[in-house]
Amino acid sequence: MEVTSFLQWNPVLADPTGQRQAKPRTLGQTMVMDKGLGMYAFQDLLNTSSSHLDMIKLGFGTSPLYPQDLLKSKINLAKERGICVYPGGTFLEVAITQHAVDSFFDMIIALGFNGVEISNGTIDIDRKLRNELILRGMEEGLEVITEYGKKGWGSTIELEELIDTVMIDTEHGAKLVTIEARESGMGVGIFDQAGKCKDEELQKVLSSVNGQLLLWEAPLKSQQVHLISMLGPDIHLGNISPDELIALEALRRGLRSDTLSLGTRKD
């Protein structure tokens, strides 16, 4: 039998749903949180699954804790694979409290970041400053992702406030608005203290806000399964652990038992 040099999975096996967009995609984007990956692990992540990865957030204020050459290398490798890479929003909140916003932007531009997250998960930021920060990010040529919600245990979504936030943030240039769930996924936003989704609140949000403008932090597999089953594989999901990225992509495509029922192709 002749051996060919090029093999390709039958599309019905590679993506039973027949829906997954290739990069650069506008639907079903995935954000991974990097909480301290070394260079080998980071390279492995990109070599294994960069086609399934749209955004990398260097969690909280970890960015200045890396050796600078290593940090630059991580940023450049991500950008070479068409990935938006940005510091966690908490780091910008630190810059605000330390009156060092100009220094923050100067440094992330010099290091090569191509995105920025603007949040008020820990401190309060008034609307005027939030607008200025979004515009500053846009002027610097960065992809701006904002975040809605507080990190405190038991914090909830205030619907009218969320609607206003999404409308104003996106009008000023934000690409996506992240819904806070922290890295634990418990007791914050749309998740109760056990990490279960509060479906009634979720439906209220989606009845008032364009879901394609929202990036849902969903670090737990049970949350990912629930949201994909409920809203489809094109939902934007974030705070995904690096070692769960391929598994999440399998969920999106109906390649795991949890979502196998999604694999009824439309074509």
pLDDT in tens, the chain (267 residues): 455 567 899 999 999 999 899 999 999 999 999 999 999 999 999 999 999 999 999 999 999 999 999 999 999 999 999 999 999 999 999 999 999 999 999 999 999 999 999 998 889 999 999 999 999 999 999 999 999 876 554 456 678 888 899 999 999 999 999 987 765 656 667 788 788 888 888 888 888 889 999 999 998 999 999 999 999 999 999 999 999 999 999 999 999 999 999 876 554
Domain count, the chain: 1
Nearest-CA neighbor of 144 among 154, 132, 127? 132
Rounded to two decimals, what is the model's pTM?
A: 0.91
Nearest-CA neighbor of 171 among 127, 201, 207, 215? 127
Residue 10 lies in a domain: no
The CA distance from 228 to 73, in Å, is 33
Rg (CA), the chain: 19
Q: Which two tokens stand for residue 61?
A: 């204020």
Residue 13 lies in a domain: no
CATH code for position 201:
3.20.20.70
Residue 186 lies in a domain: yes
Residue 6 lies in a domain: no
pLDDT at 264: 67
Q: How far is CA 58 from CA 39, 144, 184, 212, in A?
A: 13, 15, 16, 23
pLDDT at 187: 67
* Contact call for residues 91 and 35 (beta carbons, < 8 A): no
pLDDT at 2: 56
Secondary structure of the chain as H, E, C letters: CCCCCCCCCCHHHHCCCCCCCCCCCCCCCEEEEECCCCHHHHHHHHHHHHHHCCEEEECCCCHHHCCHHHHHHHHHHHHHCCCEEEECHHHHHHHHHCCCHHHHHHHHHHHCCCEEEECCCCCCCCHHHHHHHHHHHHHCCCEEEEEECCCCCCECCCHHHHHHHHHHHHHCCCCEEEECCCCCCCCECCECCCCCECHHHHHHHHHHCCHHHEEEECCCHHHHHHHHHHHCCCCEEEEECHHHHHHHHHHHHCCCHHHHHHCCCCC
Domain that holds residue 122: 19-262
Residue 11 lies in a domain: no
* Contact call for residues 97 and 123 (beta carbons, < 8 A): yes
Residue 253 lies in a domain: yes
